Amino acid sequence: MSEAVAHERVVEQLPKAETHIHLEGSIRPETVFDLAAKNDVELPEDSVEELVAAYDFESLNDFIDKFAFIPQILQSAEDFERVTAELGADSARQNVPYREVAYGYAGYDGLGVDWETVDAGIAAGRERAREEHGVELRFIPSIDRTADPERGVSIVEHVADIEADLGIVAVGLASKEQGYPAHDHARAFELADELGFNTVAHAGEDVGPGSVWNALLALDVDRIDHGVRAIEDDILVEYLAQRDVPLTTCPVSNVELNVYDDLSDHPVVDLHEQGVFVTVNSDDPPMFHADLNENYVRVAETFDLSLEDLVALAKHSFEATFLDEEDKATYVDRVEEAAEDLRADVAGD
């Protein structure tokens, strides 16, 4: 089989985890229109095709500003259940048996949607994903960098009471990076640590390595979302490598938001070769016109990755999760079983 076909086939057959995807950013364009009609929300475009074509952004801030209509279409527990269950179907389609999914609360403040509605819908959708599609979805409530820090504290207090229903595995930090340093939310992350939550933060996407340092030192996070601009600081790269801090990179997203001009400029492989623990993720797949498998394939084709490179990335994807060590090992074994079949196929060609 040709290398191009081999990349697609390998990615399809390897089980993968995903640790950087946003629930609100994963909604199918068709579902966006259905929910907008149901909830009497006017969309910026008149058709699914026009909406998909309008998913074109100049920067992270431009994306966040244009994305602001999405919370308006989610108004009931049934709406949240639907988009969560559909994410489960998408997971099964891509051979992604496990995902850690970020979601927000701040976007619903002022829209008449209380946090309990969000929770009930996600919990029901998560159960459907497990029963109907055989996939496990766990969740990461994200504190909005631009919000009042006390709101972040309230979120941590809230999720401490509902973590089992949503399978909450961590508390996160997201939204606009420029002008909103991670240390503003130190108290919320201190509380999260006191309550036993893992922690993650978006950093080093729209702002350089100083933002990654800030998240690591001020919040003591366990994992960095994006983190790619760490490549600009040799000391930071060494620090990340020595401490085995996972970076949940989103290569296509970074190109779509003009962090890098072309995928060939992306440092995902360079970081990996320097010993940094990197994974490949999709971020907001419909918005960036590439699901998880497509991210893997495009990285593989751009950097001429081998079968063993892709196997290593798939194993890393599970090792970067907040699963316990026994469950991680079980998933890694599943990757190796699939890899053995693929190796046999290659040897037979």
Q: What is the pLDDT of residues 286-316, one digit of tens each?
A: 999 999 999 999 999 999 999 999 999 999 9
Q: How far apart (Å, rounded) are the C-alpha atoms in residues 117 and 111?
A: 12
What average pLDDT does the segment 325-346 reach?
95
Paired tokens of 84 = 């969560």
**Pairing mode of beta strands 247-249, 98-104:** unpaired
Residue 273 scores a pLDDT above 70: yes
pLDDT at 1: 37
Q: How far apart (Å, rounded) are the C-alpha atoms in residues 120 and 118?
A: 6
Q: Which residue has the tokens 């996160």?
A: 172
What average pLDDT does the segment 271-281 reach?
97
Tens digit of pLDDT for each residue in 8-45?
A: 999 999 999 999 999 999 999 999 999 999 999 999 89
Distances (CA, A) of 222 to 37, 143, 212, 243, 320: 40, 16, 12, 10, 10
Tens digit of pLDDT for each residue in 141-155?
A: 999 999 999 999 999
What residues are annotated to the active site? 205
Residue 69 scores a pLDDT above 60: yes
pLDDT at 6: 86
What average pLDDT does the segment 241-253 reach?
98
Residue 5 scores a pLDDT above 90: no
Residue 4 scores a pLDDT above 80: no
Paired tokens of 247 = 């970076």
Q: How far apart (Å, rounded) are the C-alpha atoms in residues 21 and 284?
A: 6
User: Residue 109 — pLDDT band, cuts 50, 70, 90?
Assistant: confident
Smallest Cα–Cα separation from 287: which of 250, 248, 249? 250
Q: Residue 289: phi, psi to the nearest 5?
A: 60, 30
In the chain the first and final C-alpha atoms are separated, in Å, by 7
Q: Which amino acid is at 114?
A: D
Q: How far apart (Å, rounded) are the C-alpha atoms in residues 119 and 162?
A: 8
User: Residue 174 — pLDDT band, cuts 50, 70, 90?
Assistant: very high
Paired tokens of 324 = 């316990």
Average pLDDT across the chain, whole number: 96
Q: Residue 283: phi, psi to the nearest 5?
A: 70, -85
Q: Is 301 in contact with 68 (CB distance < 8 Å)? A: no
Q: How far apart (Å, rounded) are the C-alpha atoms in residues 143 and 192?
A: 11
3-state SS track over 216-236: HHHHCCCEEEECHHHHHCHHH
Percentage of the chain beyond pLDDT 90 is 94
Residue 349 scores a pLDDT above 80: no
Residue 110 scores a pLDDT above 90: no
Smallest Cα–Cα separation from 49: which of 32, 26, 69, 66? 32
pLDDT at 2: 45
pTM over 0.85: yes
Residue 249 scores a pLDDT above 50: yes
What average pLDDT does the segment 168-184 reach?
97
In the DSSP assignment, the letter for residue 26 is G
b/e 220-252 (16+ beta carbons within 10 angstroms → b): ebbbbbbbbbbbebeebbebbbeeebbbbbbbb
3-state SS track over 34-85: HHHHHCCCCCCCCCHHHHHHHCCCCCHHHHHHHHHHHHHHCCCHHHHHHHHH
Percentage of the chain beyond pLDDT 70 is 98
What average pLDDT does the segment 326-348 reach?
92
List of residues 6+ apart from 155 with CB closer than 8 A = 105, 141, 143, 171, 188
pLDDT at 348: 64
Tens digit of pLDDT for each residue in 200-233?
A: 999 999 999 999 999 999 999 999 999 999 999 9
